[in-house]
Amino acid sequence: MHVSLPKDRMPKESLRPDVAFHLVYDELMLDGNARQNLATFCQTWFDDEIHKLMDLSIDKNMIDKDEYPATADIENYCVHMLADLWSAPSAAATIGCSTTGSSEAAMLGGLAMKWRWRDRQARANRNTERPNLITGPVQVCWHKFARYFDVELREVPLARDRLGLTPDEVLKRVDENTIGVVPTLGVTFTCQYEPVAEIAAALDKLQGETGLDVPIHVDAASGGFIAPFVHPELACDFRIPRVNSINTSGHKYGLAPLGVGWVLWRESHDLPEELVFRVNYLGGDMPTFALNFSRPGGQIICQYYLMLRLGKEGYRLIHEACYETARYLAGEIAAMGPFEIYFDGDSRFGIPAVSWTTRADARVGYSLFDISAHLRARGWQVAAYAMVPDISDVVVMRILVRHGLSRHMAELLIADLRRCLEYFERHPISHPMTASDGGTYNHDVTRS
Options 3.40.50.300, 3.40.50.2000, 3.90.1150.160, 3.40.50.1100; CATH of 317-441: 3.90.1150.160
Are the beta carbons of 278 and 286 closer than 8 angstroms? yes
Are the beta carbons of 251 and 259 closer than 8 angstroms? yes
Residue type, 228: P
Are the beta carbons of 202 and 245 closer than 8 angstroms? no
Taking CA atoms, 31 is separated from 3, 24, 172, 198, in Å, by 21, 12, 46, 44
Distance CA 239, CA 223 (A): 16
Are the beta carbons of 181 and 199 closer than 8 angstroms? yes
The pTM of the full predicted model, rounded to 2 decimals, is: 0.93
Q: Which pLDDT value is given to residue 444?
A: 42
Which residue spans of the chain are classified as CATH 3.40.640.10? 54-306
- Tens place of pLDDT for every residue, the chain, 448 residues? 566 667 888 888 898 999 889 888 988 999 989 999 999 999 999 999 999 999 999 999 988 888 888 999 999 999 999 999 999 998 778 899 999 999 999 999 999 999 999 999 999 999 999 999 999 999 899 999 999 999 999 999 988 889 899 999 999 999 999 999 999 999 998 899 999 999 999 999 999 999 999 999 999 999 999 999 999 999 999 999 999 999 999 999 999 999 999 999 999 999 999 998 877 655 666 678 888 888 899 999 999 999 999 999 999 999 999 999 999 999 999 999 999 999 999 999 999 999 999 998 998 989 999 999 999 999 999 999 998 778 888 999 999 999 999 999 999 999 999 999 999 999 988 788 887 765 444 444 444 4
CATH 3.40.50.300 assigned to domain 54-306? The reply is no
Count how many Cα atoms sit within 13 Å of the Cα of residue 339 in the half-sphere of its side chain.
Answer: 27
Taking CA atoms, 62 is separated from 55, 58, 298, 300, 336, in Å, by 15, 11, 8, 9, 50
Are the beta carbons of 89 and 230 closer than 8 angstroms? no
Nearest 10 degrees: Cα torsion 165, 243, 214, 390: 20
Q: Which pLDDT value is given to residue 7?
A: 83
Which residue spans of the chain are classified as CATH 3.90.1150.160? 317-441
